[in-house]
A and B are shown apart, each in its own frame.
Chain A
């Protein structure tokens, strides 16, 4: 077991050279490569973290947007529902109003028709009644209706003279209206009877086609009438009752 000191020196030199060689060709490249890769990994991790943070932020933003849209959608839906309900109510209200109007119009039309019918019936009834009276009077007593009316007015006038004079006041004019022109003899007779009841009164005769058959007397503010109106009204009441019964049976 001997030591060759030259070999020792050479081995020390060899070892130091090997340290330098390995430092140059092994350790530094390997460690620098590892460091570079770690740096790259760190950068990538940081980038990934940044991207992840951005993604999370974007996700949060999207979630917020979704929530906002959902809330908005709920609001819009509620608004639309409310508007639809309002529109429905309005449509229903309009429909009800229209129905009511149509119903009212139908009722009015029916009423008008009934009124027209009644008026026509009344007219026809009145005409028929008057014609019947005329015929009855002519056949049974040999008098005309106008003769009887004038006679009746002449009978009533003396009893009402005072009231008529009060009602006439300052007016000295009496107007007699009939549906058709009275014959001259009846006019003269009626004029005489009126003047008997109220002297100094000016009597005028007028015709009114719309007036009921009979005779009307107006002195100042007072007005008397001997017309077929009362009878016709009675007939009208009978007809109204009949129409009412018919309406009830239609509704049922």
Chain B
């Protein structure tokens, strides 16, 4: 039994083996992009939206609403990043009910790649929002002693993201595979449903955590008021 789709080589192009993770990732990408192109190809403001466009609008606006609730500075770039994370993960996980489907998110390489992307995005968004000096200063706040802890905390975020998603998705897939081999029909269905639920929750958690990390990097800390200022405020 294969624990990761990285081990399944589906194609080989010019001596380079394309494993299931990459191929199924491309399938998810093709599905998402194709559906988007199909639904948004004839967008006109004077034409009332059909149910597919309404569904897409609802999904996008829900994601944007969640981001706006989390982030102090809502940004479209954050929507592109976190929204894509969510859509990619959820579609990958939900397609697990299709027989023969290998969820790319069941690969630690995928989750590590996504975690690395988040890990790189956090400082990039932080620098873009607060400037390089402002962002770097956040590592020595409240004082310089916290620098190593902040660095460790930043790194552990990426690791925890990668491990959490991989573990949940992979474990669901493994348990479903084991039950399919030992039980005839009923338990795998239940476990598949549980796996779908877990996949949705994990997609949400991964995207939300990524948004939270990026938002915390872009948020400008409020200046702490000293005793003199507090006294002045009390007097006023």
Residues of A within 8 A of B (CB): 1-5, 7-12, 14-19, 21-23, 25-27, 29-34, 36-37, 39-40
Contacts and interface: CB of A to CB of B under 8 A. Distances in A.
Contacts of A36: 45
A22 B109 contact: no
A34 B53 CA distance: 11
- The A interface, classified by DSSP as helix, strand, loop or mixed, is helix
Interface stretch (B30-38, B146-154, B194-202, B221-229): B30-38
Interface stretch (B81-89, B93-101, B129-137, B181-189): B81-89
A16 B6 contact: no
B33 A7 contact: no
Contacts of B46: 40
Contact of B57 (A10, A34, A40): A34
Nearest to A9: B113
A17 B104 contact: no
A131 B104 CA distance: 166
A26 B29 contact: no
A154 to B, nearest CB: 141
A11 B43 CA distance: 31
Interface in B39-82: 40, 43, 45-46, 49, 53, 56-57, 60-61, 64, 76, 79-81
Given A25-B36, A25-B37, A31-B76, A19 B113 contact: no
A30 B37 contact: no
A2 B26 contact: no
27 contacts: A2-B4, A3-B108, A4-B6, A7-B6, A11-B25, A11-B104, A11-B109, A11-B110, A14-B26, A15-B84, A15-B114, A18-B29, A18-B32, A19-B84, A21-B29, A22-B33, A22-B83, A25-B36, A26-B33, A26-B56, A27-B79, A29-B36, A30-B56, A31-B60, A33-B45, A33-B57, A34-B61
Contacts of B45: 33, 36-37, 39-40
Contact of A10 (B22, B32, B43): B22
B217 interface: no
A37 B32 CA distance: 24
Contacts of B57: 30, 33-34
Contacts of A16: 117
Given A27-B76, A36-B45, A40-B46, A11 B81 contact: no
Given A2-B108, A3-B109, A8-B109, A27 B83 contact: yes
B25 A14 contact: yes
A22 B56 CA distance: 12
Contacts of B37: 25
Given A15-B84, A25-B33, A26-B40, A7 B109 contact: yes
Contacts of B25: 11, 14
B112 interface: yes
Contacts of B104: 11
Contacts of A18: 28-29, 32-33, 84, 88
Contacts of A8: 109-110, 112-113, 116
Contacts of B61: 34
B220 interface: no
Closest 3 CB pairs of A and B: A11-B113, A7-B109, A36-B45
A65 B117 CA distance: 72
A5 B56 CA distance: 34
Contacts of A12: 113-114, 116-117
Contact of A11 (B21, B32, B64, B85): B21
Given A25-B33, A25-B40, A27-B79, A7 B84 contact: no
Contacts of B43: 29-30, 32-33
A1 B108 contact: yes
A7 to B, nearest CB: 4
Contacts of A32: 43
Contact of B40 (A3, A14, A30, A37): A30
A23 B79 CA distance: 9
